[in-house]
Structure 1
Amino acid sequence: MPRPAPAPAACGFAPISPDAAGAPLYRAVKRALLQAIESGRCPAGAALPSEAELAAAFGVSIGTLRHATDDLVAEHILVRRQGRGTFVAVHNADRFMFQFFHVERGDGLRQAPQVELVAYERVRMEEEPAQALGLRTGEPAIQIDNRLLLQGRAVIHDRLTLPALLFKGLTEKRFRERASTIYHLYQTEFGITVTRASERTRAVIADRQAVRMLGVAPGAAVMQVRRTALSFGDKPVEYRVSTINTAHHEYVQLLSRPA
């Protein structure tokens, strides 16, 4: 089992000054932690210094420090491990299934999909992904088509559009031979951490591509999910259109209300 990355010396943190606008002090601590993680000073998998060390580095109370880290744990930026400390969260299969994969069989069976790479192309950004990513139409992009199988059945067709400038050096070989999930690849090889995603869903009629990818009948109703993956500061880093055959599977979201 790989050992976690060592904790940086307080990740270079400095005392926090009270916000002139009177915002709670824990929010400034949270911003400082996010900046350290985003910059790579506290990389994915790194153990944070102890609460006492962090509180001393920031010049705040343990309670203020804990309020900030509680928020980041709830947002899946940090993870606590009993008896070991607090770590910068790493994208892995468990996190993918918990936070980003929402399709399960109608009887509630939930399993990780088998992913087949169908196509990998260098293209020019089309209008829809360009708008979602805050870019201009025609900018260089990487377009990836995956087919996802559940219980041996083709259920999902994913089309990913990535800004080529964000993913310099990404090749079909690197993508195909990734060690874990796609978001783990982004995080470990490109320093891009997907923190959350914005999704829109609608019912559409299966087109020729859905017929070919999923084996559905022409004109059948399928579900379409349009996802913009966001990194720190809600920066869009990936646009994904998922077409789902819901004949035997459902899209399931666990909702929670803020405390």
Structure 2
Amino acid sequence: MDRRGTSVARTKAADAGAARPEGASPARARGRALPSSAAPEAHGLASKPLYRQVREALIRRMVDGVWAPGAPLPSEMQLAAELRVSQGTVRKALDEMAAENLVVRRQGRGTFVARHDEDRILFQFFKLVSDDGVRRFPESRVLSIAKGKASEDEAQALALVRGARVIRIRRMRALDGVPILVEDLALPETLFPGLVEAGVPNNVYGVYAARYGVTVARAREKLKAVAAPAEDAAVLGVPAGTPALLIDRLAFSLEEQPVEWRVSLCLTGTMHYLSDLT
């Protein structure tokens, strides 16, 4: 990670340190409270609007493995009866979760926990699009993978204690066999035991969820135009100093825990970064 300079790393670490769960500010609760058997007051959520309390209760079940990726949720009516709230409150909570890509609604079939399949990652997390407008999921080749003690920057970014260990993955990604980016990932080793020995597939977010129960719920990215360092340029097959896009990403779990720090250097000669703002 340090080979790209400490300015980006330290900025990312500062962002990580400043991260707070969304909606954490106090607010007056509206409507009926959830019953003591289901309400998440123990998690400090009683001050939130009721639909937000329902949302957090549903997410807690996902975190606890009650509903695995791809699993169907009970109907809105069933959830409303169980949580003793109105069906409209449940629907509002699920609407927000659908907007966050945590659940998927299928007409006539119900609501399901979202999977980290390639289609979801392509539209939610992989923002590089060919100039012809076609979205495609890139193939990957692992260049190196190792374990070691977290650097100061890695520890700050991932909110790790001093002396904690991380898994470091370096890989090249290509479209139609043409390299488009090289990236370095740092992961807390405690969250992903055995990953080094098992190997890293193309869809790492899918492995995080399916094998380790860690769902990437959101990510924060920072972009910067840079000149490609010689080491990265060699992997990408371009001259050192070629204009490139640096994407510095910190990924968070459902519990708002930082679970992956990824720094990617991307060639954008035939690609562009696309972000839909709503």
TM-score strictly above 0.5: yes
Aligned position for 2:242: 220
Q: Decide which moves more: 132-141 or 233-242.
A: 132-141
Match status 1:101 vs 2:126: yes
**Distance change (3 Å), C-alpha of 1:113 and 1:41:** same
Judge conservation of contact 2:130–2:271 (CA < 8 Å) in 1: yes
Residue of structure 1 equivalent to 2:143: 118
Match of 1:142 in 2: 167
Give yes or no for the alignment of 1:162 onto 2:182: no
Q: Deviations over 1:5-32 (max 9, x none)?
A: xxxxxxxx945499864x4211111111
Q: Deviations over 1:204-229 (max 9, x none)?
A: 22112212211121122211111001
Match of 2:8 in 1: none
Distance 1:155 1:145 in 2: 14
Q: Is the 8 A contact 1:16 1:60 kept in 2?
A: no
Aligned to 2:204: 182
Quick one: distance in 1 between partners of 2:173 and 2:46?
50
Instruction: Kindly state the Cα deviation for residue 87 of structure 1 after the two structures are TM-superposed.
Output: 1.0
Matched, 1:252 2:274: yes
Is 1:202 paired with 2:227? no
The count of residues paired between Structure 1 and Structure 2 equals 240
Q: CA deviation at 1:148?
A: 0.7
Matches within 5 A, 1:6-155: 14-16=37-39, 21=47, 23-136=48-161, 138-155=163-180
Q: 1:68 to 1:42 in 2, by over 3 A?
A: same
Partner of 1:7: none
Equivalent residue of 1:171, what SS? Answer: helix
Q: CA separation in 2, counterparts of 1:108 and 1:43?
A: 33
Q: CA deviation at 1:89?
A: 1.0
Is residue 168–residue 184 contact of structure 2 (8 Å, CA) maintained in 1?
A: yes
Spell out, residue by residue over 1:137-174, the C-alpha distance to the aligned partner (whole angstroms, 9 max, x if none).
652111111111113210110111111111112124x2
Structure 1 unpaired stretches of 5+: 1-12
Q: CA deviation at 1:236?
A: 0.2
Structure 1 Cα separation of the partners of residues 222 and 125 of structure 2: 14
Q: Report how far residue 108 of structure 1 moved.
A: 2.1
Unaligned runs of 5+ in 2: 1-35
Q: Does the 8 Å contact 2:40/2:56 carry over to 1?
A: no
Q: Name the SS of the counterpart of 1:109 in structure 2.
A: coil
Distance change in 2, residues 1:222/1:140 (3 Å): same
**1:191 matched to 2:213:** yes
Q: Is 1:230 matched with 2:252?
A: yes
Q: Work out the CA distance in 2 between the residues paired with 1:137 and 1:251.
A: 36
Please give the TM-score of this superposition, normalised by the length of structure 2: 0.81
Give how far 1:192 is off.
0.2
Distance 1:243 1:30 in 2: 36
Q: Using the alignment, how far apart are the partners of 2:204 and 2:167 within structure 1?
A: 14
